[in-house]
Amino acid sequence: MKKHNFNAGPSILAREVIEKTAAAVLDINNSGLSILEISHRSKDFQAVMDETVALFKELLAIPEGYSVLFLGGGASMQFCMIPFNLFEKKAAFLNTGVWANKAMKESKGFGEVIEVASSKDLNYTYVPKDFVIPTDADYFHITTNNTIYGTEILKDIDSPVPLVADMSSDIFSRPIDISKYGLIYGGAQKNLAPAGLCFVIVKDELLGKVSRYIPTMLNYKTHIAEGSMFNTPPVLPIYSAMETLRWLKANGGLKEMEKKNIAKAELLYNTIDNSKMFVGTAVKEDRSRMNVCFVMKPEYAQLEGDFQKFAQAAGMEGIKGHRSVGGFRASIYNAMPIESVQALVDCMNAFEKQNA
């Protein structure tokens, strides 16, 4: 049976990317060696690193003056690495959920942490709109896509201070205006590559301004100076990232990707909105195109387990909602074809016909 992979992360990758990664594990560039057993400083791997950086810059239209880094430690490592490098006295945060909270928590030891607004009052089902960013903050931190709650900031917001964005789960899902950001980071395992890799896009002029000692491994300058090769980088995820970026480019780049993502999200949200049985959890204007969260209406709540089993039997994988939201979450990242979203929609309609 065909499986439709709605996992939130690690999550779906393009089949082609998995096949090409598998081929490189067996033999990279007809060298007779696996990518797993060659030096990260070899010609073969240096070419992978160079192409991955170049494709990042090309696809995202990254202007001059920014560096692209590939590091270990996942997005969570950045929750402390960012304050080490950018936090002098005060940092501001938009609290839109679990990940924003973790970023805030890790920053607390560095100085004054300001929460400019929070949507905690309604279990993070919306993105706060009316907030003032303090002009004396060292930076303002946002989470553009809230993977757990299914809300997303689709606009590149204007900030009077450097804007720092966790884009773990929506990077490469739409074109962005990089010039509005000071730093963008994320774990690779949602939209880009297997787990174990974190990407950082940082505006060079923001670095070197804090007065503290920064441990070598946590200093962005260390990794910029060494082209992400200060120590051994996560070579296999970087290889997969390169293949994902080649795939993105061959499929029309980010404009085309955004079109497809809009179509997929509309298909699923329209089904939810027209359903007698299901209801979305996020407010409409802040709905995520990447993670679609929905629950059973109260009168059908007892059917939740039944739908879970029904969907599983039809090949739907990973649609169980996060424990802090409940219900269901369909993650429909870049690599998810609209046919799989249609399969889920058919499954929801069939279940509703049987049971409503």
Ligand X SMILES: *Cc1c(COP(=O)(O)O)cnc(C)c1O
What whole-number distance in Å separates Cα of residue 220 and Cα of residue 85?
7
Cα of 192 vs its chain's centroid, Å: 8
The pairs formed by 202-207 with CB atoms below 8 angstroms and a separation of 24 or more are: 202/66, 202/67, 202/69, 203/65, 203/66, 203/162, 204/65, 204/66, 204/67, 205/65, 206/85, 206/86, 206/139, 206/162, 206/182, 207/85, 207/86
Q: How many residues does the chain have?
A: 356
What whole-number distance in Å separates Cα of residue 104 and Cα of residue 120?
14
Name the amino acid, one letter, at 283.
Answer: V
Give the nearest distance from C-beta 276 to ligand X in angstroms. Answer: 31
**Footprint of ligand X on 163-202 (CB under 6 A):** 166, 168-169, 187, 190
How far is the CA of 153 from the CAs of 145, 150, 174, 283, in angstroms? Answer: 6, 10, 12, 12
Sign (positive/negative) of CA torsion 34, 192, 266, 311? positive
Give the binding range for ligand X (CB under 6 A) out of 70-78, 107-115, 133-141, 275-283.
Answer: 70-78
Q: Which is nearer to ligand X, 275 or 281 (CB)?
A: 281
Q: Which residues are catalytic?
A: 99, 166, 190
150 interacts with ligand X by CB under 6 A: no
Map residue 28 onto helix, strand or coil: coil
Give the nearest distance from C-beta 39 to ligand X in angstroms. Answer: 26
Radius of gyration of the chain from Cα atoms?
A: 21
149 interacts with ligand X by CB under 6 A: no
Give the nearest distance from C-beta 191 to ligand X in angstroms. Answer: 10
162 interacts with ligand X by CB under 6 A: no
- Residue 187: strand pairing partners: 198
> Are 139 and 207 within 8 A, CB to CB?
no
How would you classify the pairing of strands 145-146 and 151-152?
antiparallel
Residue from 7, 76, 308, 349 touching ligand X (CB under 6 A): that is 76
Give the nearest distance from C-beta 287 to ligand X in angstroms. Answer: 16
End-to-end Cα separation, the chain, in angstroms: 27
Give the binding range for ligand X (CB under 6 A) out of 69-77, 151-159, 321-329, 339-347.
Answer: 69-77
Peptide bond into 237 cis (omega under 30): no
Among 141, 100, 138, which residue's Cα sits nearest to residue 119? 100
Residue bearing tokens 């880094």: 69
Give the nearest distance from C-beta 71 to ligand X in angstroms. Answer: 11
Q: Which is nearer to ligand X, 74 or 327 (CB)?
A: 74
Give the nearest distance from C-beta 189 to ligand X in angstroms. Answer: 6
Give the nearest distance from C-beta 151 to ligand X in angstroms. Answer: 11
Tokens of 283: 């407010």
What whole-number distance in Å separates Cα of residue 318 and Cα of residue 229?
35
**Footprint of ligand X on 87-126 (CB under 6 A):** 99
Give the binding range for ligand X (CB under 6 A) out of 61-69, 127-135, 162-170, 255-263.
Answer: 162-170
331 interacts with ligand X by CB under 6 A: no
Binding mask 21-60 for ligand X (x = CB under 6 A): ----------------------------------------
Binding mask 124-143 for ligand X (x = CB under 6 A): -------------------x
Residue from 147, 240, 244, 275 touching ligand X (CB under 6 A): that is 147
Which residues sit at the interface with ligand X, rule CB under 6 A? 9, 74-76, 99, 143, 147, 166, 168-169, 187, 190
